[in-house]
Amino acid sequence: MGPPRRILLIEDNPDDVALTLRALRTHRVANEVVVVEDGVEALEYLLGEGKYAGRDLRDQPAVVLLDLKLPKVDGLEVLRRLRADDRTRLLPVVVLTSSKEEQDLVASYSLGANSYVRKPVDFEQFVEAVRQLGLYWLLLNEPPPAPR
């Protein structure tokens, strides 16, 4: 097994970024966390376009933590585009968002989200959620084979 694979956090709220990073740190998740702040940048990163042109697409993150409310291109649209592209079709995407509106849940799962986690207000619950996410996706889950 090579170096621990990285996590892509797509989140525009710096507070949430800081809290997420802190929660991961608290649980000693050593994986590198790449943070992008909007949908456009997320797609560029994952599809190797724009300022990420030429990025080695075989080196995809172990899991994508996707917020739904994003500037420019929202989370659901990012998910749709990822699932429409062969290179990212199987990429594990966890929707990590404030809302538990039914419409968001239904839309996320129908677009092929692997998981849907609601960010609780209670920080301890939030940390617990992140811990479980890390445990599952980084340790237990066997990622799909990297695209050639």
Partner 1 sequence: MPLLALVLAAALEGTARLSIRVPYAEVVLVPLVAYGAYREGTRAGLWTALVTVAHAAWTLSEPGVPFRYGADGLLRLAVVAVVAAFSVLLMADRPGRRREAAVPAARPGDAGPAGSALSEGAFELLFRHNPQPMWVYDAETLRFLAVNRAAVEKYGYAEDEFLRMRITDIRPGEDVPRLLEDVGRPRPDLQHAGLWRHVTKEGRLLDVEVHSHRLQFAGRPASLVVAYDVTDRLAAERALRESEEHFRSLVEQSLVGVYLIQDGVFRYVNPALASILGYTREELLDRLGPKDVSHPEDWPLVEGNLRRRLEGEVVAVRYGFRCVRKDGRVIHVEVHGARTVYRGRPAVLGTLVDVTDQVEAQAALRALAAELEERVRERTAQLEAANRELEAFSYSVAHDLRAPLRAIDGFSQALVEDYAECLDEVGRDYLRRVRAASQRMGELIDDLLQLSRITRQPLQAEEVDLSALVQRIAEVLRERQPERRVELRVQPGVLARADPKLLRVALENLLHNAWKFTGMRQLAVVEFGVTHTEHGMACFVRDNGVGFDMRYADKLFAPFQRLHKPSEFPGTGIGLATVQRVVARHRGRVWAQGVPDEGASFYFTLPGLEVRHGTAQADPADRGQP
Binding site for partner 1 (CB under 8 A): 13, 15-16, 18-19, 22, 68-69, 97-104, 119-124, 126
Nearest to 81 by CA among 98, 93, 97: 93
- CB-wise, 32 or 101, nearer to partner 1? 101
Name the minimum Å distance from CB 102 to partner 1. 7
Which neighbouring-strand residues pair with 63?
A: 7
Torsion 37-41-46-51 (CA) sign: negative
At closest approach, how far in Å is the CB of 68 from partner 1?
A: 7
CA-CA distance, 76 to 10, in Å (whole number)? 12
Q: What's the farthest any 2 CA atoms get from each other in the chain?
A: 42
Q: Which is nearer to partner 1, 60 or 67 (CB)?
A: 67
> Which lies closer to partner 1 via its Cβ, residue 93 or residue 129?
129
Q: In whole angstroms, how close is the CB of 130 to partner 1 at the nearest point?
A: 11
